[in-house]
Each structure stands twice: as C-alpha cells, then as structure tokens.
Amino acid sequence: MNMIKPSQDEKERAIEYILSIGLSKPKSLWKHFYELYRALGFHYLFLNTMLPVIISVALMIGFIVLCPLPSEQFKNAVLFATAPVFFIFVVLLTEIVERSSPLYELKMTCKYTIQQITAFRVLCFSLMGSVFCTLTSLFSRFPDVLDFFRALSLSLFALFICSFLSIFLMRYFNWKWTHFTPVLLWMMIGLFPIWILRERWESFLSQLPIVITVFFTVIAFGLYLMELKKLINIQQREVAYYVGR
C-alpha cells in the first residue's frame, strides 16, 4: 500500500506536542463560559449590543402586533413563528455590528476571540428568547393548562431548532454573508407553513400530543448545546470578512 509515512522529525514533533498538551481534560462548555465571564464580565461581553437587543425586541413585538392572522384562531402557529424572531434578529444584528467593526480583525487575534464571545452571547440571547416564549405563551391566555404547555414547548422547540440550525450554518459555512442565513431559515420554518398550510398548520400544531412536543424540544435543546460547544471550540477558521477584500 502507498502510505505517506511521517518523517522522524515529524514523529518527534508530534510526540512533543502530545506530551506538551498532556492528559488535561478538555474544557467543558460551562467552563469556557465561566472563564469568559470571569475575564470579560457582562459589560465587555455585551459591549455595543444594546441597540441590536432593543431593535430585536421591537421586531418581535411588531411581528405579534402586525401579524395579519387572527391571533385567537392561530395561537399556536403565531407563537411558533414568533418564538425565534428575537433570537434570529439579535444574532444577525450583533454579528453585523461585529463584522463591520474596525476592531473585528484585531479581536480575532486576542486570547478570547469574537467567535467565543458570540457563543456566549448566543447562549444568553437564547435564554432571553426562552423568557420571551414563556411570556408570550402566558399572554396568549390558553383556557387549558395542557394547551399552555403545548404552546410553550412548541415555541421553545421553534426557538431551539432555529438556534441549532443558525449556529450550524454559521459554524459550517465560512461565507461572508453567512450570518444572514438564519433569517431565511426562520422564514422557512416559522412562516412558510402558515402561508402554505394556514388552518391545517394550526390544527396540526394544536393536536400534537404534549409528550411529543416536549420530547422534540428536549432533543432540539440538546442539539443546540452540542452545536454551541462546537462553535466555541473552532480553531481552524479564517477571518472570512477580510478574504478577497
């Protein structure tokens, strides 16, 4: 067999490298986030994010208020479509702010890169999104507690599946405009079923057993955490913004 074998020098270097790393346990996601928080604090972690947060909250409220569908008849479908709005837009806007920042390149050469900070922010934004999902489900005033939990789990599922796919796209594709793709994703997952299926979509969502909706929410949350861990651990990533400029 024609196998490319490493030279003695390469072997020694690899052994040295393995020995230098030792048997230290790889950092967990929470350890990463704790270190980031200890080093930067909320002030630096969320520097220049106030405006994107305000705009995203306004967009979410605007979407609920201006939604052309009668909210009483389409409660589940509207909640499902609304759930990822805050997350998708806040991530998009903060990414735009970072990528257009004159400091982007410099920040990518620091110990804590903007990519790691983005991962921390994404976690916080998804937690905020969860709070908004709970509030919108509460304000929807479902007559039955089971209906409330179904709606809540559906909206959380929409949030986490969009978050998972958004991070996957951001991590996997190193395009200049990757951060815009989650908006398309939200349109496909949240809006298209309403436009195409209308009452049938609402009827489908409202008849789903709670066990199923909770199960899929847990799965989506697990996938989301796994993806977040991969995002914070990326090493081999070029600063796409600068390539080809």
Q: Which stretch binds another protein (CB under 8 A): 36-44, 131-139, 164-172, 186-194?
A: 36-44
Rounded Cα distance, 90 and 128, in Å: 11
In the list 11, 39, 58, 146, the residue contacting another protein (rule: CB under 8 A) is 39
Q: How far is the CB of 121 from another protein (least distance, A)?
A: 14
In the list 1, 2, 4, 17, the residue contacting another protein (rule: CB under 8 A) is 17
- Is 20 a binder of another protein (CB under 8 A)? yes
- Is 176 a binder of another protein (CB under 8 A)? no
In the list 6, 11, 13, 135, the residue contacting another protein (rule: CB under 8 A) is 13
- Number of residues in contact with another protein under rule CB under 8 A: 29
- Is 238 a binder of another protein (CB under 8 A)? yes
Q: How far is the CB of 92 from another protein (least distance, A)?
A: 21
Give the pair of three-digit tokens for residue 174: 């190193």
Asked if 82 and 63 count as a contact pair (C-beta separation under 8 A), the reply is: yes
End-to-end CA distance of the chain: 44
Residues 65-104, mask of contacts with another protein (x by CB under 8 A):
------------------------------------xxxx
- Is 112 a binder of another protein (CB under 8 A)? yes
- Is 22 a binder of another protein (CB under 8 A)? no
Q: Which stretch binds another protein (CB under 8 A): 79-87, 105-113, 141-149, 187-195?
A: 105-113
- Is 34 a binder of another protein (CB under 8 A)? no
Name the nearest CA neighbour of 34 among 115, 120, 94, 122.
Answer: 120
Give the pair of three-digit tokens for residue 3: 């196998």
Q: How far is the CB of 192 from another protein (least distance, A)?
A: 35
- Is 51 a binder of another protein (CB under 8 A)? no
- Is 2 a binder of another protein (CB under 8 A)? no
Residues in touch with another protein (CB under 8 A) = 13, 16-17, 20, 39-41, 44, 47, 101-113, 235-236, 238-239, 242-244
